[in-house]
Amino acid sequence: MIPPTAGNATDMIRTTRPRGRSARLPILLAGTVLAAVACGGPEPAPPAVPEAPLAPPAPIAPPTPQTPLADVEAEGTLAPPDQAQDAFTYDPAQAPVGAELAVEAGASDGATRVRLEVEGLLPDRGYAAHAHARPCGPTGDAAGPHFQNEVDPAATPEQPSTDPAYANPQNEIWLDLRTDAEGDGEASTEVPFVFSDRAPASVVIHEAETTATAAGEAGSAGGRLACLNVPFDQVASG
């Protein structure tokens, strides 16, 4: 056997430890795989979380029962005495035929509340008004004097009470009002008493714009223009 030359030894070394493109191929392939992983497309979205079911709507509370506004309600359309039923006009020029009056009354805790509403009276005008002792009739005088919780002992049918100790808005029921541009208006009062064995029977609209309060004329309000029958005796004692 011929011993290898130096050049042959070199060739042997190159044969046992090859270099070149084929040797680098696995490294390049590995790098390509890593690059593909690093530069790949967007990561897949996480699975959707199911939405929680909507809460059922809160139950609607039942409506609160309405407390009756009043024990008694009365209303009427003004008509001349010979045609009237419960609403009378004695002066159509100041209390026109066709105008409407309405009264509500109720009692609780030892007090009585009364409200008067009018429609179709003269516009922009004051009217004094009071509860009277008797029902309406052919003339304004039929309704009698103002109702008083404590009756003035000095009063007579010919001379109604004008003493401020008795003729005042705490012992009587005063409902003075002022109309608007349409002739409508309202007034209300609360008095510190309830009806027992006596009760008023009507509300009278007077000629004066306000009720007098001075001694000797307290309670005075001029002529009687209109009247509405009101069953005050049906108001609960409260």
Residues in CB range of 225: below 8 A, 6 or more apart: 89, 90, 91, 94, 95, 127, 140, 205, 206, 207
Instruction: Report yes or no on whether pTM surpasses 0.85.
Output: no
Q: At which residue do the structure tokens 């005042």 appear?
A: 168
Tell me the DSSP string of 3-58: PPPHHHHHHHHHHHS--SHHHHHHHHHHHHHHHHHHT-SPPPPPPPPPPPPPPPPP
Model pLDDT, residue 157: 86
67-81: pLDDT as tens digits: 455 799 999 999 999
Model pLDDT, residue 123: 99
Confidence of residue 237 (pLDDT cuts 50, 70, 90): confident
Average pLDDT value for the chain: 83
Taking the domains of the chain in order of start, what are their residue ranges? 6-33, 72-234
Whole-angstrom distance, CA of residue 207 vs CA of residue 174: 14
- What whole-number percentage of the chain has pLDDT above 90? 68
35-70: pLDDT as tens digits: 444 445 555 555 555 555 555 665 565 554 444 557
Model pLDDT, residue 48: 57
137-160: pLDDT as tens digits: 999 999 999 999 999 999 998 899
Q: What integer is the mean pLDDT of 193-215?
A: 97
Q: What is the CATH number of domain 72-234?
A: 2.60.40.200
Q: Which residues of 163-197 are buried (b: 16+ CB within 10 A; e: fewer)?
A: bbebbbeebbbbbbbebeeebbbebebebeebbee
Model pLDDT, residue 70: 73
- Identify any residues that bridge with 79 across adjacent strands, giving them in sequence order: 88
